[in-house]
Amino acid sequence: MSHSIKEIFEAFVREFRVWQAMREVGTLDDGALHDIGIDRGNIEDAVRCGRH
């Protein structure tokens, strides 16, 4: 299984953006999270997959 440098770089950028978004959403208080329909325990899922 061979991954090109481009594919590895794109995966790194994608994960970095997810990490940034999780940090940003994580700064919201519980009331704000509730208002947008997520709770602290599912921030990563909401960032990666959106709300269900």
Higher pLDDT, 3 or 45: 45
Band (pLDDT 50/70/90 cuts) for residue 39 is very high
Higher pLDDT, 51 or 40: 40
CA–CA separation, 48 vs 42, rounded Å? 10
Query: DSSP assignment of 34-51, as one string?
Result: HHTT--GGGHHHHHHH--
Digit-coded pLDDT (tens) for 1-37:
678 999 999 999 999 999 999 999 999 999 999 999 9
CA 49 to chain centre: 8
Query: Which pLDDT does position 52 carry in this prediction?
Result: 65
